[in-house]
Structure 1
Amino acid sequence: MDDNAVTVNGTRIAFDGPNPRSRIATELSGKPKIAGENVPLVAQRNAKAARVAIAVAALKDAKASGVVVRTQKRDNATGELPVGWVDAPVACSAVAMIAKDVSISVWTVGGVVARRFAKGMAGPDLTLGSDAFRKGASTCDSPMAYVAGDEGIQWGLVFDLALAAKEGGEGGAFRAQKFGLVLDPPVPGRKVTPL
């Protein structure tokens, strides 16, 4: 997928137009290796984070059990991010969001005062933001941690933040097995309703 459309078996479904989530889910329904499967999704770095969340929500609607989002990392290697969903998220699950001003906020799904990390020299401060995200995830016994990007934020930045938290060494073990996405950009510090 790119910022304009999702391609399913050669059929391109544009995000422009009415209800892209429903149109993508309809195209996916009944296709082999979707229902009950962990489905791969190749997302371009420049796709908007909100549009990646729409594509993942459509896969959930099509009864996929999870998604593995594959995206090019900053070093040009391909990275994988396991994405899933649960019926009732644990209130202490960590949430990290990149805002329009490229600052990073970290808080819990249940809502607490968010920690904010201002923009770094060349984009989001992934070092401080991912450390706080990892610490938040290490203090909660939850299988999920959640990431989001404000409107206009590219998926590549959100992907980098999630991988930095998952693969980084400081701040304790990253307990979450999968990442969850949020359709509507959350308000830092407030309760979050993930997919």
Structure 2
Amino acid sequence: MLDPSRAPAVKPPGQWHHGNLRESLVQWGIALLHEVSLDQLSLRLIAKSAGVSVGAPAHHFGDKDGLFAAMAAQGFRELIALRRSYLAQLPADDLPGRMHALVRGYVEFAQANGSLFELMLGPGLRHREQYPELVEEGRASFALFCEMAQPMLPPPGQCAMPHADALQMLWSSIHGLAILRVHRRPAPVKASRSRTLDHQVGTMTQFCLAAIAGLKIA
């Protein structure tokens, strides 16, 4: 693990020019989360890594929460982009495939970006409602899920619960798996088969599709 008192010697990939210092600081913060914990990440470390003065982050973001909120907003944009890239490979009428893409994109992103994912959706960021960019991107991420999943639900008059409730429960199930993958925690009961990402994504997809089928009022 990186010593939080030292900046990395090599810049992460990407052209982070000081002409767009705000974006550069956001990208450095996200990159450093692969090396240090949220508790260890500081404005000083981010500024040192970016090669700017210690006061530069405060000028753009006010305080650490402001920068963390911008990092979380960028995380949502990247999560949306990943899921859209998977969805773009599938025909619109392949509903099981599209559910699989939604599940895989969400869980894969969480596992690859654990600290950022917790910043995006965990309790560590205080007063997130004060950051419009973060609120907007978080809503856009959930809206993408709803846009793709809602056509799979039975029509409102034939659905056992309101669509909004059904979508919330489907997302909650997928989010729960993502959290388990982030923390590398097994389920409290013995898994019937492999715990690989591919297997668990496939199983969660089957679960969601079965839950949707069960919502149809006979």
Larger RCO, structure (CA 8 Å, separation 6 or more): 1
User: What TM-score do you get using the length of structure 1 for normalisation?
Assistant: 0.32
User: What TM-score do you get using the length of structure 2 for normalisation?
Assistant: 0.30
Determine which structure has the larger strand proportion and give its number: 1
